[in-house]
Amino acid sequence: MAELSKEAIFNVLSCVEDPEIPVLNIVEMGIVRDVLVAGNDICITITPTYSGCPAMKVIEDQVIEVMRNKGYQDVTLQTVLSPAWTTDWMTDEAKEKLTKYGIAAPGKAPKSSDLVMLSSKHENTKCPFCKSSNTKETSEFGSTPCKSLYYCNACNQPFEYFKPF
Ligand SMILES: [Zn+2]
């Protein structure tokens, strides 16, 4: 019988990688919102990182699969869209791993009142390789819409920036 504690279930969920950033799992990303245990029934609440993210279906399937493999049968997945996920939900550890992976971690997410000034304000983005701030945005969209492409003038390497939102 699998252990029915919140902690045990969070540990199991830590085995599910984020499909777009394989160094991070869905708990570190802050995608797993809550786990409720009632008798043998488990309800897992998740929030997509951004709407229309095609990876979300993959994550849902993997959650069910990994839970079944660990002996949890009665699992309900609930997707909650509000409040929307923001990059602030990523743990500090997750941001550190992201940087080591070569993607500049997001800064503090903008408040909605700051959104207007957001678009061109990325000049403090630090290079994940050499930590230089001498970087420039080369494209607003990287391999996925949540990242933009940067170029480091100090070490002459391109890198991706996980945009805060
Ligand atoms: Zn650099």
Q: What are 141-163's pLDDT values in tens digits?
A: 877 778 899 999 999 999 999 98
Residue 131 CA to ligand 1 centre (angstroms): 6
- CA of residue 84 to ligand 1 center, whole Å: 32
pTM value is: 0.78
pLDDT of res. 142: 78
**What are the tens digits of pLDDT across the range 79-116?**
998 888 889 999 999 999 999 999 999 988 776 555 54
Ligand 1: centre distance to CA 159 (Å): 9
| CA-based R_g, the chain, Å | 18
Residue 165 has pLDDT above 80, yes or no: no
C-alpha separations of 29 from 79, 85, 149 in Å: 15, 10, 21
**Residue 150, SS3?**
strand
Nearest-angstrom CA–CA distance, 127 and 114: 24
CA of 22 to the centre of ligand 1 (A): 22
pLDDT tens digits along 5-64:
999 999 999 999 988 788 999 999 999 999 999 988 999 999 988 655 667 788 899 999
Cα of 126 to ligand 1 centre, how many Å?
A: 8
Q: Note the pLDDT of residue 111.
A: 66
